[in-house]
Structure formats: C-alpha cells, structure tokens
Amino acid sequence: MKYIQLIPALLLGAMLTACNTTKKLYEAQEYDQVIQRVAPKICDGDMNAKQINYVAASYHKANQADHERIQALKATGQPDVWPEIYQRYCSMKGRNDALKCFPTKVKNGMNYVKLDVDEDMTVARNHAEAFLVAKANQLLSTGTTQDGQEAMGYVVQLAMTNKDNPNIPRLFMRSSLCFGDAVMLGYGNTSGYNLSPEFKATVLAFDEGELPTCNDFHIARNRNFSYMYTVAAVIDDVMVFPVKLDEVTFKEANGGKTVEVSDHSQSKRVTVSGRINCYSSCCIHPEKEGPECSIPFEVTSTFKNDYTTIKGDREACSAETLNRLNSKPVPVPTDESMLIDAAKQLNDLIAKELKK
C-alpha cells in the first residue's frame, strides 16, 4: 500500500521537474529546445496548460526573431548572407511542422497559422548554394593550405544546404588535399575482366608533383605512410570490341584503261569505365557509407587504319587513288596494348580531375 501511495507523489514530482526545466529553457530564450521537448507530448495528448503556453510563446518569439533577422540580412544586399537566411527559413518551417499535429482547439488558442515558406526557402537555397560554390572556388584558386582548409568549411556548409549539389564531389576532392601531406592512390577492379598488373601500374603511375595540392604533397606508396586522403580508380566495366574490317570496291578508267580500286578500313576499340572515388578523414556525410565522392569516367582506346589496293592498270588510277596507295595495312594492336593505352588515359584523367 505504501508503494501505491508513492505513485501520485512521484508523478507530481516528475511533472514539476519537467515544467521547471521547460521554464528554465524558455527564460534562457532556448525556444527551439522548448518546442522540441514539449511539442511531441502535446501531439500525444498531454494538454498541460503551462506547457502549451510555453510552446506557444516560444513558437511566436522564435519565428518573429527569425523574420526580423531575415529582413535585416536581405537589406544588406550581400551574397554571403544567404546561407544564414536559408537556415532561418528551415528553422521556421521546422517549428511549423512540429506544431501541425496539435489539436485544432490548441492551434486556435495559440494563433497558430500554417506558414508557407517553401518558395522563399527555394530562392534562399539557390542563392546560398551559388555563394558557397563561388567562395570555395575562390579560396581554392589561391593554392595555399590555409585557404584550402577554409574552403572545406564552405564545402561542408554546401553539403548541409543541399547534399545533392553537383559541385560537391570536386570541391571536396580539391579541399581535402589541403589537410595532410600525402595522398594514397587506390585501385579496384569489379568488372570481372582479368586486367594485368601492368594495367594497374600504369593507372597509378603518377610522378611526384603531378597531383596538384595546396601543400608540398607526396604520394603514399604504402599503407605505412601517413596520409589523410585517398583517390581510388575503380574499374566497373571493360569492353573489347573485335576487329572490324570494311571494304569498298569501285572502278576507275583513264584513256581506255581500267582499274579496280578497293578501299579498306581496319578498326578496333577498347572502352574502360568506372568511378574515381575519394575518401578523406574530413567526412562531410558521417552517416554515409562508402566514398565521400564518386566521379564516373569512361576512357576509350581506338585503332583505325585505312589503306587502298588496286587490280588492273595503275595508269588508270586517279591522282587521289595514287596518293592513297601509299598507305599500307598494319598489324592490329593486341587487346593488352590497347588496354595499356586506356590505362594511360585514365591516369591523365585522374590528374585532370584533381586540377579542376
């Protein structure tokens, strides 16, 4: 019986503690914390009048403060204000969404009106993204470590503003290279095609200084070397097209003499496609598994040779045909030699991506 008598007292104590905590948060002007703490309880049916009053007052005061701040920021006309404007619109929308599950009677009592800020948020986000991209590029253009590291802050902010912004992979890649003194080069093959060790070695054959960075960077040749950034070429597909032989035959005549002319064409193509993945300890998407950025690529090695043969009197050939007779058939390159050529192209492509 004593335990039963204690229950109301415990509940009363818990209610007083909760109310006291809410009051302290409100008095400290932590309005969003008040809403986050109390709004779910009201949605679940807890109609404590004091708690509702704290939420109502917090809601209106926080929105009013954001509205006034947004207007003041816009009045400056400066491009760097848009990230904050966008975040404040997000806060207003978040508060509005947190209260939309309240009973209609509670909404009416606190003068709750559904806010329509979606269009304003879109405009603000577009301006914010444009500023963050421009600022990051400006800092990275100096080539200094300090500016490169500052650029990473803007890239992180860009990812928080819109994680799908297409500029993030390359900006992240460039700014990440400023955080250490070495880059590890990685390689993977998921294509199922048996690529040779020479292919891998050719893809990763970078000279010191070829990879542009903010520092006097080195290439980490093994896992024991200190590094903070990895660039990995992952081969997803290898397509080796068979040799294609085309032939066109026609006749030419000159002064009663004739000749049969055959134009021949030899061709072969090898295509390698995949991803350039980047990994860094400076993670901008902690919740994401896998690479921080992934840039698709496709490189193609092409062989083509044209030559002409004749049957008949050479004196019947036109000047153009006589000129083409200087070309001769040549051996078609092997699959391996064309794959090595594709590997060289991929090596150049990785360096170019890091320079962008």
Beta strands 257-280 and 229-254, pairing class? antiparallel
Check pLDDT > 70 for residue 74. Answer: yes
> Is residue 143 within 8 Å of residue 98, measured between CB atoms?
no
Arithmetic mean of pLDDT, 170-182: 73
Whole-angstrom distance, CA of residue 85 vs CA of residue 74: 8
- Residue 177's nearest CA partner among 280, 275, 277, 276 is 280
- Tens of pLDDT, residue by residue over 183-215, are 777 889 999 999 999 999 999 887 656 655 565
pLDDT of residue 285: 53
Domain ranges of the chain: 2-116, 182-355
| Residue 338 host element (H or E) | helix 335-355
Within 8 A by CB and 6+ apart from 125, the residues are 86, 161, 162
Check pLDDT > 90 for residue 84. Answer: yes
Whole-angstrom distance, CA of residue 53 vs CA of residue 224: 61
Residue type, 105: K
pLDDT of residue 1: 40
- Tens of pLDDT, residue by residue over 209-262, are 665 556 555 566 555 555 667 788 999 999 999 999 999 999 999 988 999 999
pLDDT of residue 14: 42
> Is residue 328 within 8 Å of residue 306, measured between CB atoms?
no
DSSP state of 104: H
Check pLDDT > 90 for residue 36. Answer: yes
pLDDT of residue 77: 95
Cα 54 to the center of its chain, rounded Å: 42
pLDDT of residue 13: 44
Give the number of other CB atoms < 10 A from CB of residue 49: 8
